[in-house]
Structure 1
Amino acid sequence: MNKNSLCSMNDLSVDEILSILNDARLFNSSYSDWQLPLKKCLVANLFFEPSTRTHYSFESAELQLGCKVADFNAETSSVTKGETFLDTIKTFEMVGYDAFVIRHPKTEYFKELEEIQVPILNAGDGAGNHPTQCLLDLLTMQNEFGTLKGLKIVICGDILHSRVAASNKSTLERMGSEVRFCGPEEWERPGYPTMPLDEAVEWADVVMMLRIQRERGATLAHLTKEQYLQRYGLTKERYNRMKKHAIVMHPAPFNRDIEIDSDLVEAPKSRIFKQMANGVLVRKAVLKRAFGFAPFEEK
């Protein structure tokens, strides 16, 4: 596999993570200051699962950097004729694409692609990894607090099925943050320290909510939406007990009035839409790394 691939946050050292975050920050919302010779680079976005934010923020980043972009549709491809996953990706490599952005429902799908020589950027694999979501979360926290070291983060909801929880836990701990989890007992993971939600909202600097991953089999049929919100969601009452400086995050898509009260999505402490904007910056930085460019230097 290409050395500039990014399949898991474990592919990156702490210094490399900080370098990507610095590049993302220097990109800001403009690309005119940094002219990269990418006009002849072909990027294939191969999404085998539905996506809005990840797919189109990658595409925005690609187009802003000057890349040529192809969007793959599994339903109109030879996958419907029985073509294997590896053969599909190998085909894109052979016809001249320079990088792949891949989302797939199989956890660690990238282990099947060791022979692929062009960079692979993982846009989410099952319940396993979501490195660019993790990076944009780190950027959002770092911009807010100036550092990740010493931050207290609670991640709430469907922990068992969440690749966001998995990527963030190990990475935030490496960056010096303290991470706790809360949610229904059925969705806890071994080795993921828990605390009660009502205690967590007063303890945390960052309250990150997660949706119920129904597409991965998660269900709490014995609870209504209203009951779930009251037991495991961010209500207005819990929001009002958060620290003055604390922020609310969510990887989205969010289900209003289930894991978070609808009025809180754009409340003063919410950084949910800011996370989406940061996603474009992080994906620019990751694409820049994929094509072998050195880290930016501060101007």
Structure 2
Amino acid sequence: MKNLLSMEHLSNEEIMMILNRAQHFENGGNPVLQREFHVANLFFEPSTRTKTSFEMAERRLGCTVIPFDAEFSSTTKGETLYDTVKTLEMIGIDAVVIRDKEDEYYNELLEGIGCAVINAGDGAGQHPSQSLLDLYTIQKEFGRFEDLNITIVGDISHSRVAKSNATALTRLGANVRFLCPPAWAGNFEAAHSWDEVLEDSDVIMLLRIQHERHSVSKNFSKESYHAEYGLTIEREQRMKERAIIMHPAPVNRDVEIADALVECSRSRIFEQVRNGVFTRMAILETILKGRDQYDNSYTKCEATQ
């Protein structure tokens, strides 16, 4: 695995390999990288969890993290993303972790770039590392994906988390359903009432309303959205006994979820954050180890010529 761009590019076997490696790290296992790698995190959109989680994962693997501040980079002078990444590669960067507002920004990097590219979120497209940590959280809870009812609730059409998880969970055998206002379903079929999905859901996965991606204002106040589509205390009481609550965060309390439920016994919201470090360690190790093997193979090939 040279890059991680989309959950659509991962096989079920590759997904399970990463999840198993995440468990290895959570259990205190050591990485197997043979040398020091240099990684840069290029975040052109705000991030708390993903950016710091990747930085922690990189440091735990023994990587050198090269600082990069998008606000003071040459992209503000008109430099293309390709030229920025190519420059970092020539300096000696082995991998870049990128978040960008453009969907599929990585397409311009597929030719001509030799360092590894890890997609930390592309517009309203994909968020593969978040999906993998969500899968790890569900696997730890239930030990399987097959026949679980996973209900994703909120701003579906603008959510890269929803798209990434729908792809992976469906392929792994889960029943993925959506709940949202009719205008927010995008290309997915969605329920519009909690009564259709609440009581048989094993996982309720809530999403933030992504106001920054809406071209026009939606007619929801915080109070009205919470009353109609939020997970209220009354709704939580109707959930299955072992059902859990998830959210990629940041959480808007008393909008998509009642404040009292954010850290309730069902909630795995902060556990997801913790799991993110182990999962991103697994992602980085898999990619960097593969890169090392590729580089060694290339060197041996050159030496025989």
Q: For this structure pair, what is the TM-score category when the shorter chain's length is used for normalisation?
A: over 0.9
| Deviation readout 1:156-185 (Å, 9 max, x if unpaired) | 000010000000111100000000001111
Indicate the SS of the match to 1:268. coil
Distance 1:201 1:262 in 2: 19
Q: Is 2:17 aligned against 1:19?
A: yes
Q: 1:46 maps to what in 2?
A: 42
Alpha-carbon shift at residue 218 of structure 1 (Å): 6.3
- Distance change (3 Å), C-alpha of 1:85 and 1:170: same
Note if contact 2:33-2:285 (Cα within 8 Å) is conserved in structure 1.
no
Deviation (angstroms), 1:232? 0.8
What one-letter code is carried by the residue in structure 2 that aligns with 1:106? E
Task: Identify which of 50, 59, 63 aligns with 2:59.
Answer: 63
User: 1 CA distance for matches of 2:254 and 2:215?
Assistant: 18
Q: Against the structure 1 CA distance between its residues 232 and 121, is the aligned structure 2 distance closer, same or farther, given a 3 Å change threshold?
A: same
Q: Does 1:109 align with 2:105?
A: yes
Measure, in 1, the Cα distance between the counterparts of 2:216 and 2:241: 34
Match of 1:128 in 2: 125
- Check if 1:200 corresponds to 2:197: yes
Deviation at 1:85, TM superposition (A): 1.4
Shift of 1:72: 1.5
The 3-state SS of whatever aligns with 1:16 is: helix
Q: Does 2:137 match 1:140?
A: yes
**C-alpha deviations, 1:91-127, integer Å up to 9, x for none?**
1111110011111110011101012111111100000
CA RMSD of aligned residues (A): 1.6
The residue type equivalent to 2:181 in the other structure is P
Note the alpha carbon deviations across 1:109-148, whole angstroms, 9 max, x for none: 1101012111111100000000010000000001000101
Moved more, 137-146 or 181-190: 181-190
In the alignment, is residue 183 of structure 1 matched against residue 169 of structure 2? no
Matching residue of 2:239: 242
How many Å separate the matches in 1 of 2:245 and 2:147?
17
Question: What SS is found at the alignment partner of 1:291?
Answer: helix
Alpha-carbon distance between aligned partners in 2 of 1:62 and 1:231, rounded to the nearest angstrom? 41
Identity of aligned residues (%): 52
Are the counterparts in 1 of residues 43 and 100 from structure 2 also a CA contact under 8 Å?
A: yes
**Deviation (angstroms), 1:39:** 5.4
User: Whole-Å Cα distance in 2 between the matches of residues 86 and 150 of structure 1?
Assistant: 42
Find the aligned partners of 1:72 and 1:13 in 2 and give their Cα distance: 32
TM superposition shift of 1:189: 1.8
Residue in 2 that maps onto 1:82 = 78
> Does residue 254 of structure 1 match 2:251?
yes
The structure with more helix, counted as a fraction of residues: 2
Q: Which residue of 1 aligns with 2:68?
A: 72
Letter in 1 for 2:156: I
SS in 1 for 2:260: helix
Judge conservation of contact 1:43–1:69 (CA < 8 Å) in 2.
Answer: yes
Alpha-carbon contact 1:38-1:67 (below 8 Å) kept: no
With structure 2 as the length reference, what TM-score do the two structures score?
0.91
- Cα separation, 1, equivalents of 2:213 and 2:231: 23
Question: Do residues 150 (structure 1) and 150 (structure 2) align?
Answer: no
TM-score (norm 1): 0.93
C-alpha distance in structure 2 between counterparts of 1:92 and 1:144, whole Å: 40
Check the 8 A contact 1:212/1:218 in 2, yes or no.
Answer: no
Distance 1:236 1:218 in 2: 32
Aligned to 2:5: 7
Tell me the residue number matched to 2:295: none
**8 A Cα contact 1:161 1:218, kept in partner:** no
Matches of 1:224 and 1:10, distance apart in 2: 35
- Equivalent residues of 2:182, 2:190 under 8 A apart: no
Report the Cα distance in structure 2 between the residues aligned to 1:164 and 1:17, rounded to whole angstroms: 16
Q: Which moved more, 1:263-272 or 1:214-223?
A: 214-223
Q: Which residue of 1 is the match for residue 228 of structure 2?
A: 231
Aligned counterpart, 2:214: 217
State how far apart, in whole Å, the 2-side matches of 1:263 and 1:218 are: 32
| Cα drift, residue 193 of structure 1 | 4.2
Aligned residue identity for 1:49 = E
Which structure 1 segments of 5+ residues have no match? Answer: 295-299
Which runs of no fewer than 5 residues in structure 2 stay unpaired? 292-305
Counterpart-to-counterpart distance in 2, 1:273 and 1:169: 21
Shift of 1:70: 1.7
Give me the whole-angstrom Cα distance separating, in 1, the residues matched to 2:121 and 2:109: 15
1:75 CA drift (Å): 1.1
